[in-house]
Structure 1
Amino acid sequence: MINVDDTKTKTILGVQYLRGIAAISVVLCHFGSGIKNYPMLAQIFNAGQNGVQVFFLISGFIIIFSMNAENYKTNQFFRFLVKRSIRIDPSYFITIILTIVVFKCLSMLPSFKGQSIPFIPEQFLAHIFYIVPFTKYPFYNHVFWTLCIEFQFYLLIGLIYFLNNSSLYKMSFLILFSLTCLIPISNSYYLVFTYAPIFSLGISLVSLLKKGSVVNYLVPLILLAFILIKFGVLLFVILFITSIIILTFTIEIKPLFFLGKISYSLYLTHSLIQIITAGLLKRLFIKPLLNELVALLVEIIVAILTGYIFYLLIEKPSKIVSKKIKYANNDQTALVINIPVDL
């Protein structure tokens, strides 16, 4: 495990790498699970959908870690929301607008078999306020559903988790929160409670990273047991390995660091880029001439390049502004660990 003390700054590289791996896994799932000539490979790519759950675990870890590092208090909740909004909303909102515009343009092409996305103010506002699952409207892009889960998580953590700083309270919160995944609730796919053990596992790793006590080892094991019961063996293994990487990995891998840096932008834009790239390849009569795997590689490269440009133009400036907002009355002597993640 990475050793942490009050006098040193440590870099947790595994968090950044896992973001990159999770993002590219989701891309492979959406781009490659439909390839016809390589069914075995398509099945492997389809497992990339588990990258979403890895994102949830990482979110639980980095959000709590950053709030601890800045000595967050519950009475700073609205400042916390402002920080998160500045950090994630500009990229999200611009992707929404681009999606509407692109589909409108594509619908004007005779060869386009899809439908345009009409601008309905209520649907647009439902996206802006992360309440689409609770309305009659569909998502403009289904990848947006995870942002609704994340927003629910922010509300829960910002209002409840820091009400008491005792270890017993926080441990009890994690266990009780995780148990909510067993409650039968309608439309549960879009509720944070369904993924509670995963977020909780990420949170529990913060305490384990700081102090390797018996209790701090026991809580993640209990949460992994919940995950095994709720989600099955495959996700259990993936998240167990994810946890080990967060706690132990220190090797520098620049390509994974890069993918981790652009992971949010890549995740937001990749579905839209796939539609455009695949359409252009077909329209130019290039795709039928390419091997399926070559066409897949071209689409992935274009998606990564677009994600990088989007990161530079939209996401990075938002991150810089968000980091300038500090919580009031912070203890400047608090432990600082450098997590190279765009929080």
Structure 2
Amino acid sequence: MAGNGTAVLEAVHETDRISNPVDHPVVAKKAPRLGLLDALRFAAALLVLLFHYTAWHHGYWGTPEAKDAWPVLSRISVYGNMGVQLFFIISGFVILLSAYGKGAGRFVGSRIGRLYPAYWVAVLATGYLVIVMWPQVGAGLGVKELLANLTMFHPAMELRHIDGVYWTLWVEMRFYLLILVLMVLRLLTIRGITILAATWSVLGLAAHLGGNAQVATDLMSDYAPLFCGGILIFLIYRFGHSILRWSLLVMNVGIAAYFTGLKGPVEAMELVGYDIPAWNYWVIVVGLFTVIALLTLSPLRNIQWKFLALLGSLTYPVYLLHQVWGWWLIDHLNPVLGKYVTLPLVIATVFAAAYLIQRFIERPLAKPLATATTNALSRVGSKIRDLKKSNEPVLGR
């Protein structure tokens, strides 16, 4: 079967090709969309949004900290940053679902078509806000950062994010590049994917425990087990249960819980001011993997209510837009309307803007951009092959 949701975060459902256990390609039938996975992505976006609005340490509610304005809600929303962990697990699943059996050009085209149209709008809109309208928040940001952010590769240029939430896109991008390398090397097979899921997170853990901080960072040790866990759920979903796959999944869940248990309490104290024990994050990570497994490996995967697809399609633009624009709205509306009106109004406004981007930017532009990119890469590939043939020695000369 095949089906898909998004990037860190995405929803591209296409007919694809799969391989049997010895990796001979056969044509796969298009499978139903995983509706509840879309709903889960929507919930993850809402969790992150509430974390940034009601728990993150900002003073836009007219109090020293957001938690002072929301003393009860913040006790729950402090866990909202775990929505990012959820995004990465889902990404490990859906990106393999989207990429497996496809050519590299088609994969690159689908990612560019899916990621960039909404992203360009968000970068330009947020850039205008922090550079022109609200420069005290965007101090030090200028046209150079704005243009670099449009590429999504600005962290490689050591330039700042126009919006802090873009850090997750760079994590996702490096995961995509890893998958692309495997495709180019013809290693995106059942065996190759299994080896990746068995070694990537272990190498990251070894680098971390060995004190090799730079190597651990390069291997994305904090996030590798989340992606690998999603990959293993994909393998079980597509090719069936096995002791090896479930054992590797349990191992990655354990490594993910370990890293989240290290990072979660530190962020809760530094970003919110709450002292939260590590075991809370261990339970959350296990719960996230359990929910994704249930929604993809049980009969729940057959639920396909149409409105769930709409919720899933809003997730990415909501994530891109919500943080700085939301803070700006809170800062301006709260003194007039009060927090109990401002919070739902800001949330509704962000989702309305996300719908407009999805309807009038993503929907008309994503497929043409993906097709144009795929065709361009195909032409380049053909020219390279022709060049190689022209340079081959002719038999008998």
Tell me the TM-score normalized by structure 1: 0.79
TM-score, length basis structure 2? 0.69
Q: Which amino acid in the other structure matches residue 296 of structure 1?
A: L
C-alpha contact (below 8 Å) 1:117/1:140 kept by paired residues: no
**Structure 2 contact 42–311 (Cα < 8 Å) conserved:** yes
AA matched with 1:203: I
State the SS of the aligned residue for 1:262: helix
Mapped contact 2:148–2:154 kept (Cα < 8 A): yes
Superposed displacement of residue 49, structure 1 = 0.7
What is the RMSD computed on CA atoms of the aligned residues? 3.2
**Within 5 A, what are the aligned runs for 1:60-75?**
60-68=92-100, 71-73=101-103
Write the deviation string for residues 27-54 of structure 1: whole angstroms up to 9, x where unpaired.
Answer: 1111121242432321211211111111
Aligned counterpart, 1:82: 109
Which of 99, 104, 125 is the matching residue for 1:98?
125
**Residue 270 of structure 1: how far off its partner (Å):** 0.9
Q: How does 1:1-343 map to 2 (within 5 A)?
A: 9-33=31-55, 34-68=66-100, 71-73=101-103, 76=104, 78-107=105-134, 114-115=137-138, 118-121=141-144, 123-160=145-182, 163-164=186-187, 166-182=189-205, 183-184=207-208, 185-186=213-214, 192-214=220-242, 215-232=244-261, 233=282, 234-248=284-298, 249=300, 250-252=302-304, 256-282=308-334, 285-287=335-337, 290=338, 292-322=339-369, 324=371
Q: Secondary structure at the match of 2:223?
A: helix
Larger mean Cα displacement after TM superposition, 127-136 or 229-238: 127-136
The 10-residue stretch of structure 1 (54-63 or 292-301) with the greater mean CA deviation from structure 2? 292-301
* Aligned residues with identical type, % of pairs: 23
Cα deviation, 1:64-91, whole Å, max 9, x if unaligned, reads 11222xx224xx3x44323312221122
Q: Distance in 2 between matches of 1:322 and 1:48?
A: 33
In 1, Cα distance between equivalents of 2:126 and 2:30: 45
Contact 1:88 1:318 in 2 (8 A): no
> Equivalents in 2 of 1:187, 1:93: separation in Å?
31
Alpha-carbon distance in structure 2 between the residues aligned to 1:7 and 1:99: 41
Structure 2 gaps of 5+ residues are: 3-26, 56-65, 262-281, 379-397
Aligned counterparts of 2:50 and 2:190: Cα–Cα separation in 1: 40
Instruction: Tell me how far 1:17 sits from its aligned partner.
Output: 1.3
The answer on whether the counterparts of 1:153 and 1:192 sit within 8 Å (CA) in structure 2 is no
Whether the 8 Å CA contact 2:45–2:315 is kept in 1: the answer is yes
SS of aligned partner of 2:72: helix
Cα displacement (A) at 1:156: 0.4
Classify 1:308/1:36 alpha carbon distance in 2 versus 1 (closer, same or farther; 3 Å). same
Pair member with larger Rg: 2
Residues 61, 206 of structure 1: 8 Å contact kept = yes
Q: CA deviation at 1:116?
A: 5.3
Instruction: String of CA shifts for 1:99-157, please: whole Å, max 9, x gaps.
Output: 2212244248xxxx545564242x34542343443454321110111111111111100
Contact 1:180/1:194 (<8 A) preserved: no
Shift of 1:296: 1.3
User: CA shift at 1:246, angstroms?
Assistant: 2.7
Alignment correspondent of 1:338: none
Structure-1 separation of matches of 2:123 and 2:306: 30
Distance 1:319-1:211 versus aligned 2 partners, 3 A rule = same
CA contact (8 A) 1:16 1:257 kept: yes
Question: Separation in 1 of the partners of 2:366 and 2:193?
Answer: 29
Q: Which has the higher mean CA deviation after the structures are superposed, 127-136 or 260-269? A: 127-136
Distance 1:254 1:166 in 2: 33
- Amino acid across the alignment from 2:355: Y
- Structure 1 unaligned segments of length 5 or more: list them: 329-343
CA distance in structure 2 between the aligned counterparts of 1:187 and 1:145, rounded to whole angstroms: 19
Whole-angstrom distance in 2 between the partners of 1:65 and 1:14 = 16
